Structures are given as structure tokens and as C-alpha cells.
Amino acid sequence: MLLIPAIDLKDGHCVRLKQGDMHQSTTFGEDPALMARRWVDLGARRLHLVDLNGAFAGHPKNEQAIRSILKEVGGEIDVQLGGGIRDLDTIERYLDAGLRYVIIGTAAVKNPGFLQDACTGFGGHIIVGLDAKDGKVATDGWSKLTRHEVVDLGKKFQDYGVESIIYTDIGRDGMLSGINIEATVKLAQALTIPVIASGGLSKLSDIEALCAVEGEGVEGVICGRAIYTGDLDFEAAQIRADELNG
């Protein structure tokens, strides 16, 4: 079970949002590269970066901070990035800079042709982020709820050749209310590619519950607010996950 610390970037700083609201942000660090180093030193095997400004602008906005992270830890662990990635040139530029995975969210839903082209051109490097509420996919920084069912889109994107899917329950994200295990497993069981859980992680029992369903296809979990507030001890949680699924 991969425990993947999230570093959300807003105006070059590390922040956390509540339910994707840019107006409800808490700053947890001024130096993104230093934050990345901290998680790697505590045993992280992958990092999850989000360009929050980029997600809302539709193009990269925190590239300097992202490059500083890649320079610091990119040679040691895999780094994945989402937010504002809407064209193949951006994907190529980030992969050339040392990124391992590019996460495509809104653009995958709105422009599936782009996702197909990305999978064709950069096979093995493309992850889709599906953000949902009550089983329906949301787009545009969670501001718009579509009529698309998560499982239906997951199957479609799997056929395109995406590496994995990050499933976020947006009703829980940043709220420390617990992972939506049932919905995550439902998606994982419908697919043959791995699913990464996201949204609501709050305590060690969440990690234990996810480890229990790892065999269903749940590969990892994004660790956000809980590891910044201290509600979850990241190092201890990764050790516990390794014990359970060693």
C-alpha cells in the first residue's frame, strides 16, 4: 500500500484546501522542496503534487516550485503531478524535467481525445484523476457536477491505456471524515488497472481498512491534511501498512 503525501501548491507555497475551495486554504510551508524532502526522509515512496493555481487557470502556474521539488527528490522517488495540464507539450516538458506521472482530470472528461493522444504518446506515464460526489464526476476544480458515472468513465479511460486512476470523494476531501472505502472498492473491482484512494484520510484505522482491500485493486492513498495537522503520523502509518501487506 503506497501512502502518497500530497503537496498542494498555491502561489509557490504548500497549502491545504477544504473541499477544493481556494478561499479556504491553510499554508503549511513556504518551501515546497523542503517539504518534499521531509516526506521522503520519513519513508515516502511517491509524492503527489497539485498545481492549484494551474487547475483553476487551465495552464501551469507553479512550475518553478514543481521544478525545485523534482531537483530535490526526483531522482529518489516517483513524483506525480496534476493541475492545469491541458496539452501534450506541457506533459512532455514535465516528464523531461523528471516527473514520473502526469495526472489529467478535467481535461480527461471534457476532451477525451486529448487523453487518448496523451496515452498514445506517453504510455505508462498518464494517470486520470476522477473527482466525484455521490457517484457523479465533477470537473473544473469541483465546481461543476456532470452526469457521468465514475465507473463508466473509469472503464472508458482504462481502455485508452491510462496507468491508474485516482478517485477522490470531494464531499470528504480536507474534512478528515474518513476515506469512502465502499465507493473506492466499487471502482477498483470494476477495473483491471489500479485505483488510488483520495479524500478524507484522517487516522490509522483508515490505512488499515485500505490495506484490507488492497487485493481488490486499491494501490495506494493520497495523504493530505491529516499528515500536516498531525492527526496521522505518516512514518508510523507507512510502517503499519507494510506490516499488514508485507
In the three-class reduction of DSSP (H, G, I as helix; E, B as strand; rest coil), residue 146 is classed as strand
Q: In sequence order, which residues have a C-beta less than 8 Å from that of residue 203 and are 6 or more positions away?
A: 178, 226, 231, 232
User: What DSSP designation does 18 have?
Assistant: E
Catalytic residue among 131, 169, 173, 206: 131
Kind and range of the H or E run holding 169: strand 164-169
From 188, 169, 161, select the one nearest 104 (Cα to Cα).
Answer: 161
> What are phi and psi for residue 163, nearest 5 degrees?
-75, -40
Give catalytic status of residue 206 as yes or no.
Answer: no
From 178, 224, 181, 220, select the one nearest 202 (Cα to Cα).
Answer: 178
Q: What is the distance between the alpha carbons of residues 2 and 30, in angstroms, rounded to a whole number?
A: 26
Catalytic residue among 8, 51, 169, 173: 8
Kind and range of the H or E run holding 242: helix 234-244
Give catalytic status of residue 8 as yes or no.
Answer: yes
Instruction: Write out the catalytic residue numbers.
Output: 8, 131
